[in-house]
A and B are shown apart, each in its own frame.
Chain A
Amino acid sequence: MALLSLKNITVAYGKNIVLKNLNLEVEQGELISLLGPSGCGKTTTLRLVGGFIQAREGQFIFNGKDYTNIPVHKRNFGFVFQSYALFPHLTVFNNVAFGLKQRNVPEKEIKKKGNGYIRNR
């Protein structure tokens, strides 16, 4: 059983079908890269896994659980955006700590973990 599997996924924006019957299986520890010309649906596939868009048809299974209808903020998936997407109104520390705060990690641990990633010069 694969860790992540997309089954017969179809994604469309209005009448424009972007992904049609996509099937993909990824094993634990496997490194996957999607290649293709622009507009072929690489980003759409990633955004579907991230939960930013909904599939019109098909199923997304992760670790044996159906993730198809789980909203983004409950997926706990990391996602790197093309534009970095830093929070402009927050400090560097609060940018780093943002995810931990949302997960209700205790303040002390946030400080310790957050500071571990920042080096003061």
Chain B
Amino acid sequence: MKKNNGRLLTIFALFVYMFTLVPLVIITGAAFGSDDYLRFPPGGFSLKWVENIFRVEMFVRTFKISLEVAVIGTMLALIVGIPAAYALSRYDFSGKRFLQGVFLSPVLVPGIVFGFSLLNFLIIKYQMPVYTSLLIGHTVIIMPYIIRVISSALENFDYSIEEAALSLGAGKIKTFFIIVLPNIASGVIAAFILAFINSFNNVPVSIFLTGPGVSTLPIQMMSYVEYYFDPTIAALSVILMGMTIILMLIIEKTLGLNYFTK
């Protein structure tokens, strides 16, 4: 009976892997195929669809916007998130639990709800430019990741080391920069990469905060698929997948992925 269970589990696990990985194999195959539509197995090998990505001007332009928004948004979120994480992990004050909830809420609220409310609030009510709203939206949605990862880095750093620095004559702010920051640097890098990936791949929030001239790559990809069904999109997906895998490998090599499961 027990042996049977084990086999059942193996088959089940195999199916799970198949459902997640086979589509990726098909996309990768189609990306390097020579057919004019998504076909698997591909009729022949060609790099023309990869080339075609760079011929679609909107892809190049929105790639830059996505990159810009992800980098600037992550920087802003780090500037706000690091002090917030520090306060939440080092001090006790009234309303702490509430604030923790507020900072984590963008992950709990569905992206589509959050995107819609930002559209109403920033663009319709305050008439903000689309690009600024997009940047604000992304900063807010990646904040929880930053705060969570930095908090766990701070939790692992002994507070008495900070106190030692204070007692040796370094002021509070100086202690933070010369003692705390170097010791949570790996956490900051992890937070940066995680936030970057999240911002770069985001659709539900971006879709409300893009407009004429300002769009992100995932949004552009979606509207491309509506009109053309050629393997360009597959080729682009493979490139994005590769980017994410490389970033994840960097995290895995430098800190280990268990950083995020704590």
Contact = CB atoms under 8 A, between A and B. Distances in A.
B170 A85 contact: no
- Classify chain B's interface size: 10 to 19
Interface string B149-193: 000000000101101111111111011000100110000000000
A45 to B, nearest CB: 16
Contact of B160 (A51, A73, A75, A82): A82
Majority SS at the chain A contact face: loop
Contacts of A14: 92
B160 to A, nearest CB: 4
A52 interface: yes
B160 A72 contact: no
Interface in B90-145: 92
A83 B160 contact: yes
Contacts, number: 62
B165 A87 contact: yes
Majority secondary structure, B binding face:
helix
Given A73-B171, A102-B168, A103-B169, A89 B183 contact: yes
B161 A87 contact: yes
Q: Indicate the member of A52, A87, A103 with the most B CB atoms within 10 Å.
A: A87
Contacts of B163: 50, 52, 72, 79, 81, 85
A50 to B, nearest CB: 6
Contacts of B183: 88-89
11 contacts: A77-B167, A81-B163, A81-B164, A82-B160, A85-B158, A85-B160, A85-B164, A88-B161, A98-B170, A102-B165, A102-B168
Given A79-B167, A99-B168, A103-B169, 10 more contacts: A52-B163, A71-B171, A73-B168, A81-B164, A86-B161, A88-B183, A89-B179, A98-B168, A102-B168, A102-B169
